[in-house]
Chain A
Amino acid sequence: MTPSERHDAEDAAEVVAPFVTLHQQQHAARLGMWLFLASEAMMFGSLIVIAWLYRLTHPQGVAEAVERLNYLLAAGNTLALLTSSLLMSLALVACKHGQGRQALGYLLGAACLGGVFLACKGLEYTLEYQEGLLPGFGLTSPLQQPSARLFMNLYFVATALHGVHLLVAIGLVLAVAWRLRSTQLARGRLQTQLEMTALYWHLVDAIWLLLFPTLYLIGR
């Protein structure tokens, strides 16, 4: 059997009904993933637009809230997330070139940086809790204006929702890393899984890139 015939046979073995070819199966996976990403983008897009609406209607209250947020810690978190996205891209490139061990290293690095992001976020929440800034914990808020407290509520909802998404992304990356470690690097299905996970990871990163200036930076 020639190498080309062997590849064709491997591809055929990875195709699942109702798909006829591996290419068709991968295209369907990409389309489904993009539709899912679209729904995620719409949800976070609504939160970001609400934040901008608050900024337009209550500029002083928002400025009071933004002043108390730790933007340097958030900038460090942005750096961690961007680096993790680079590692995801490099993992995909390594996987396409059949370099399974390198891809595994990049994936574990990305998952670790995701963990660093969540740990820093936890530290940030702790500091905000101690200051009484977080909503719903019974402490007297130091924020004077009701609109500032409203913005803090939005900040908490948006960042917590983003944190949950990152947690899911870390779980997906670890699952793909486990499959990569425990099986031979398959050309088709595993690569598709890694590609879909990378898409999700990059979306979580892209959303943060909009949340960071919207919540922390503008109007300090």
Chain B
Amino acid sequence: MSRATAIRIYLLVLLLLALETLAAASAWALSTPVILMAAGGQFLLVLLFWLGLREQRGWVRLFSWLYLCWLLVMALFILGEHLTR
């Protein structure tokens, strides 16, 4: 990753931080989805660019995507189990 890309990602992540903090301070009806989307965006940016998921190859790429999917499956399982109880 280049220096310029790292700084660009930083500015984007800061923008999302400002957005989620403002949404939490406000009384918008849509503040929860805005916060969730901003946090998801931050997480993905850090994962793809700073943790370098898009640059990894071979087994490293396979394992990194596999554990992300595993986390998603775990979240869906627990929430699904609760909703169908």
Contact residues of A with B, CB < 8 Å? 27, 30-31, 34-35, 37-38, 41-42, 45-46, 49, 52-53, 56-57, 71-72, 75, 78-79, 82-83, 85-86, 88-90, 92-93, 198-199, 202-203, 205-206, 209-210, 212-213, 216-220
- Assuming the contacts A71-B24, A213-B35, A217-B21, asked whether A85 and B50 have C-beta atoms less than 8 A apart, the reply is yes
Residues of A within 8 A of B70 (CB): 38, 42
Q: Which residue of B lies closest to A214 (CB)?
A: B39
Q: Is the CB of B24 within 8 A of A220?
A: yes
The answer to whether A56 touches B82 (Cβ under 8 A) is: yes
| Interchain CB contact under 8 A, B10 and A82 | yes
Provided the pairs A82-B14, A203-B51 are in contact, do residues A212 and B63 lie with their beta carbons within 8 angstroms?
no
Contact indicator A52/B51 (Cβ below 8 Å): no
Chain B residue with Cβ nearest A72: B21
Contacts of B47 in A (CB 8 A): 206
Residues of A near B42 (CB, < 8 A) are: 209
Interface pair A78/B35, CB less than 8 Å apart: no
Q: A41-B67, A42-B71, A206-B47 are in contact. Are A213 and B60 (CB under 8 A)?
A: no
Contacting pair A27 B50 (CB below 8 A): no
List, in ascending order, chain A residues with CB within 8 A of B78's CB.
49, 53
Looking at chain A's contact residues, is the secondary structure mostly helix, strand, loop, or mixed?
helix
Check if B71 sits within 8 Å of A45, measured CB to CB.
yes
Q: Identify A199's interface contact among B10, B51, B67, CB under 8 A.
A: B51
* A-binding residues in B (CB < 8 A): 1-3, 6-7, 9-10, 13-14, 17, 20-21, 23-25, 32, 35-36, 38-39, 42-43, 46-47, 50-52, 56, 58-60, 63-64, 66-68, 70-71, 74-75, 78-79, 82
| Residue of B whose beta carbon sits closest to that of A38 | B67
| Residue among A31, A57, A217 making CB contact with B59, cutoff 8 Å | A31
Distance A93 CA – B1 CA, assembled complex (angstroms): 7
Whether B60 contacts A85 by the Cβ 8 Å rule is: no
Which A residues touch B36, using CB under 8 A? Answer: 213, 218
Kindly list chain A residues whose C-beta atoms are within 8 Å of the C-beta of B35.
213, 217-218
Q: Which residues of chain A come closer than 8 Å to B25, judged between CB atoms?
A: 220
Known contacts A45-B74, A90-B3, A219-B32; is A212 also within 8 Å of B39 by CB? yes
Q: A56-B82, A217-B20 are in contact. Are A31 and B71 (CB under 8 A)?
A: no
A99 to chain B, nearest CB (A): 11
CA distance A199 to B47 in the complex (A): 10
> In the complex, what residue of chain B is closest to A200 when comparing beta carbons?
B51
